Amino acid sequence: MLIGIDDTDSPQGMCTTYLGAVLARQLIREHMQVREARLVRLNPNVTFKTRGNAAVMLDVEGNPDRAFAIACALVEDLADFSCENTNPGVVVVKEQVDPAFYLQAVTDFCEIDDAVALLDATGARYRGWKNRRGLIGATAAVASSLPDRTSEILVYREPARFGTPRDVDRTSLFAAETATFPHTWDTVDVANDVVVCVPHTPDPVLFGIRGESPRWVMTARQMVQSERPGIEQIWVTNQGTDAHLIDANISELREGLSYRVWWTVADIPKTGTGGHVSFTIRNSDHTVRCMAYEPTKNFRQIVRQLVPGDEMIVCGSFKKGSINLEKMKSVSLATDQTIRPPACTACSKRMTSDGKGKGWKCKRCGARADAPDIEEIPRMLAPGWYEVPPTARRHLAKPLCRGLPPY
């Protein structure tokens, strides 16, 4: 059977993955076999999410009625029902539900009624609490099919320490990254000297290591020194796979969806208040703004080097009329040039314009010229892919260390 769970946490505590890890242990104690623990991230632009829009799925061999009863009891015990935005859902199905529902949940928006209709049609056992929104994520989890998958080991805290400051040795995290990158990623952000894998919220997670396989995340995990941990779970995930991106034309962009588009830079990037950098891209008649916000740090230095005419592939979510950049490829670079009034060949002074279409004239000696001085500025940017740093990376965004996209 597949067990899906979502929406058990709140900003004040809990985490659906922790509940999933506890459930796996309870089922094992009941002599059931847990074949896979899966963590799926869904549309990152869903406003109801607490943090990373995660849902979990356990693939289990055992009695479905018993497993469903245990899962529901655990949700009642651990979920943070006090939060208005916590609306848990538990689903148990005999086999995978139509993956189209997962695809919609990861790239688009879903309705609670559609999840319920699908569950009814497949004869699922399910329960939704409060407004039952968690049934969306729980259904998506049991509908998930992952053509590309990564691993994450989540190390949880001892329950007595929940809500207290975390103690994870910084040096050991940097050493783990050095020893295992690029097979693991986003443990730390070396360029910005920041630890990325230790949350700052009061949830049960102590730290998490992401990587290509259970073996690699475990290798890195074993190097990390910390307070005494509680339980640990290796998850199969869709993190770092770009599962949220859709190929689209500029005229098709919809609010809250994430895209990969091939367009041309239309203006010179500007740095606005707060250090956010913006520029416009165009495709025939349409234009759209791209944003590299301040938290994307050094990535903004790359963006500032774009010039009109550069051919680009940009990836990111379309929100409030802008694409928020996750990564981009400069496919081909336009010529960058400065155009200045010509210098007088006799007295070396810059000439002044004699009016539109009338050429230039030297004020001192009266010499004339028809064409301006056009000077090519060497481009410092190399064609290729560029991405935001680990501190600014979204869970679903595929890091370039996993291999360059095939376009």
Residue numbers at the binding site for ligand ATP (CB under 6 A): 6-7, 9, 15-16, 42-43, 46, 48-54, 87, 105, 109-110, 133-134, 136-137
Closest contact distance (angstroms) between CB of 30 and ligand ATP is 24
Kindly tell me which of 201 and 345 has the beta carbon lying closer to ligand ATP: 201
* Residue 126 CB partners (closer than 8 Å, separation 6+): 89, 90, 91, 92, 116, 119, 135, 138, 139
Could you tell me whether strands 373-377 and 336-340 are parallel, antiparallel, or unpaired per DSSP bridges? antiparallel
Kindly tell me which of 16 and 187 has the beta carbon lying closer to ligand ATP: 16
DSSP structure string for 131-187:
T-THHHHHHHHHH---SS-EEEEEEEEPGGGTTSPP-B-HHHHHHHHHHHTTTEE-S
Tell me if 314 sits within 8 A of 290, measured CB to CB. yes
Q: Is the dihedral of CA 301, 305, 308, 311 positive or negative?
A: negative
Kindly tell me which of 14 and 392 has the beta carbon lying closer to ligand ATP: 14
Kindly tell me which of 232 and 267 has the beta carbon lying closer to ligand ATP: 232
Report the C-alpha gap between 11 and 1 in whole angstroms.
31
Closest contact distance (angstroms) between CB of 356 and ligand ATP is 54
Residue 299 has φ and ψ, to the nearest 5°, of -60, -30
Closest contact distance (angstroms) between CB of 6 and ligand ATP is 5
Tokens of 156: 């949880």
Q: Which residue reads 């497949």 in tokens?
A: 122
Kindly tell me which of 233 and 280 has the beta carbon lying closer to ligand ATP: 233
Kindly tell me which of 103 and 168 has the beta carbon lying closer to ligand ATP: 103
Closest contact distance (angstroms) between CB of 42 and ligand ATP is 4
Report the C-alpha gap between 229 and 156 in whole angstroms.
6
Closest contact distance (angstroms) between CB of 216 and ligand ATP is 23
Q: Which helix (H) or strand (E) holds 120?
A: helix 112-121
Report the C-alpha gap between 263 and 384 in whole angstroms.
15
Tell me if 88 sits within 8 A of 128, measured CB to CB. yes
Tokens of 9: 């946490």
Closest contact distance (angstroms) between CB of 314 and ligand ATP is 22
Kindly tell me which of 157 and 329 has the beta carbon lying closer to ligand ATP: 157
Tokens of 337: 């040039």
Closest contact distance (angstroms) between CB of 56 and ligand ATP is 8
Kindly tell me which of 83 and 334 has the beta carbon lying closer to ligand ATP: 83
Kindly tell me which of 324 and 330 has the beta carbon lying closer to ligand ATP: 324
Closest contact distance (angstroms) between CB of 84 and ligand ATP is 11
Q: Is the dihedral of CA 266, 267, 271, 272 positive or negative?
A: negative
Report the C-alpha gap between 238 and 235 in whole angstroms.
10
Kindly tell me which of 99 and 182 has the beta carbon lying closer to ligand ATP: 99
Tell me if 164 sits within 8 A of 216, measured CB to CB. no
Closest contact distance (angstroms) between CB of 304 and ligand ATP is 32
Tell me if 166 sits within 8 A of 157, measured CB to CB. yes
Nearest Cα residue to 306 out of 277, 272, 275 = 277
Tokens of 244: 């949220």
Closest contact distance (angstroms) between CB of 317 and ligand ATP is 13
